[in-house]
Structure 1
């Protein structure tokens, strides 16, 4: 998991600390991949599993826009060609290249844009931007279930009901309850006039 908020590259305290930690993790990963792990930089250090990592972060790596994104949960057509702003909508080019260079990941999972997108970095590293999981941001929120191993992964996307469908269901159920309640009140009230009528007939006799 990468704290992508700290990858502004402006030398702030948290940015410097996070970058130093990422460089150290990168060094350990590279040592695990070395054919001769007893080199000076790797001797005596902790070894990580020999497996390409999966990056999980909030901001996507740099891409110009969502122009090449498609699918029912992608950005609306009128928004796909809107240029992204570096360090606001996506990471900067420099930070993106650093992460790809340091970790050589097999998969990147990101969010932030509220819309789904799948892109390839360097022609081989897939990045999946997960759409928002909130009706406040989109009418068809979704989430991803994943199965991960040291060599492979499998992802499945699950959608929540459309917000309009949920609201219609609630309104329909509320209307049905009102009708049932009024019908029940009418049935409870109907015996009283009948009893009053019988009492008047009895007195008339």
Structure 2
């Protein structure tokens, strides 16, 4: 009798174990990544600050999502968002581009399901301040970069101007986001608008307070703009500007300077492929120098490459590239959790890894085999009686 009761409970035990396993592996595992400045690493310990979760490359498909994506990958991504929210308890969410997998190919009516899916994915984060930058999959490559389309997409996302840029301040931390896709393009109106945002950030705050900020002699061509201002020094010291947010990483001469954690996250890309631009693509060097000279960013956060990277530029500015947070791009998704402390340069950065898709599939396969074996064993007595 006891054996019969135990065998009847076995399927329930297996399914319950799978549910508990799902909850366990959905919780992110976070590791603090030491910064290049040891004093900066020590400065924030024991102090509270603005807690920000940064994600990139969600690659939502909206109404075009098939069964596998809708009921498996997107289901788990929403679960990852919920569990991460309760685990790290952020004050703000930053999404660094490529919200859509095929946004540049979508009409406005087909974009709406993507926005709806995005809202459903965020779940509890909708109650927090959040900001989204534009990626190449969202707006397309240079030959298809349409100012009207960018304006419409940006108008459906919080805090972006018509060119897809934004500037805001929260908890005494200033942020500026750039439409980095436009910076890759040549003679393009959107790029000119992005340059204007960069020049606005260039104005010395002391001049602004005194009301004597000089007018900007904007040339309308990037090469001329850069040359015009290259010789004019910005009085602000390096690292004293806003936190810079953009989709493409800035130019880096030596990718080997990424932290050791980066090598642990490298996997083959998913079925979506590299997208309009190659995954190794970065903001051109002259544009990168222009940004450094004008904005003097305190820290930089980028995405696009699908993998985590902690890079230090020659002037000591730290750039953290955020891993893709979707199985559509890689087997081991992740995100970055940053805490901005009271002092201006104190930023603690953690890389948070999430469950591998292969591990989840293995767990489902194991449960299926166990349940199938149970059904087979349970029906053996009936088959024997039928044969006799």
Q: Same fold per TM (> 0.5)?
A: yes
Counterpart selection for 2:368 from 136, 157, 174: 174
- Answering whether residue 189 of structure 2 is matched by residue 13 of structure 1, we say yes
What is the CA–CA distance in structure 2 between the aligned matches of 1:54 and 1:66, rounded to whole Å? 21
Contact 1:73-1:116 at 8 Å conserved across structures: yes
Tell me by how many angstroms 1:143 deviates.
Answer: 0.8
1:168–1:136 Cα change, 3 Å: same
Question: Structure 1, residues 4-57: CA drift from partner, whole Å, max 9, x if none?
Answer: 111136231111112112322332xx2x2x278325217xxxxxxxx7311111
Tell me by how many angstroms 1:59 deviates.
Answer: 0.5
Higher relative contact order (CA 8 A, sep 6+): 2
- Answering whether residue 245 of structure 2 is matched by residue 56 of structure 1, we say yes
Contact 1:59-1:111 at 8 Å conserved across structures: yes
Which TM-score applies when normalising by structure 2?
A: 0.39
Long gaps (5+) in structure 1: 43-50, 77-84, 198-205
What is the CA–CA distance in structure 1 between the aligned matches of 2:191 and 2:243, rounded to whole Å? 21
User: Which structure's residues are more often helix, by fraction?
Assistant: 2
Residue 81 of structure 1: aligned partner: none
Residue 40 of structure 1: aligned partner: 212
What is the CA–CA distance in structure 2 between the aligned matches of 1:87 and 1:21, rounded to whole Å? 26
What is the CA–CA distance in structure 2 between the aligned matches of 1:178 and 1:71, rounded to whole Å? 43
What is the CA–CA distance in structure 1 between the aligned matches of 2:261 and 2:311, rounded to whole Å? 16
1:162–1:9 Cα change, 3 Å: closer
Contact 2:248-2:283 at 8 Å conserved across structures: yes
- Answering whether residue 292 of structure 2 is matched by residue 100 of structure 1, we say yes
What is the CA–CA distance in structure 2 between the aligned matches of 1:36 and 1:3, rounded to whole Å? 25
What is the CA–CA distance in structure 1 between the aligned matches of 2:182 and 2:192, rounded to whole Å? 8
Question: Structure 1, residues 124-176: CA drift from partner, whole Å, max 9, x if none?
Answer: 21011122223343332211122234623222211112333222212111111
Matches within 5 A, 1:139-158: 139-149=331-341, 151=344, 152-158=346-352
- SS of the aligned residue for 1:67 comes to helix
Q: CA RMSD in A?
A: 3.4
1:156–1:18 Cα change, 3 Å: same
**Bigger Rg, structure 1 or 2:** 1
Contact 1:131-1:141 at 8 Å conserved across structures: yes
- SS of the aligned residue for 1:134 comes to coil
- SS of the aligned residue for 2:319 comes to strand
Counterpart selection for 1:119 from 308, 311, 314: 311
Which TM-score applies when normalising by structure 1?
A: 0.70
1:65–1:136 Cα change, 3 Å: farther
Tell me by how many angstroms 1:118 deviates.
Answer: 1.8
Bigger shift: residues 107-116 or 64-73: 64-73
Contact 2:338-2:347 at 8 Å conserved across structures: yes
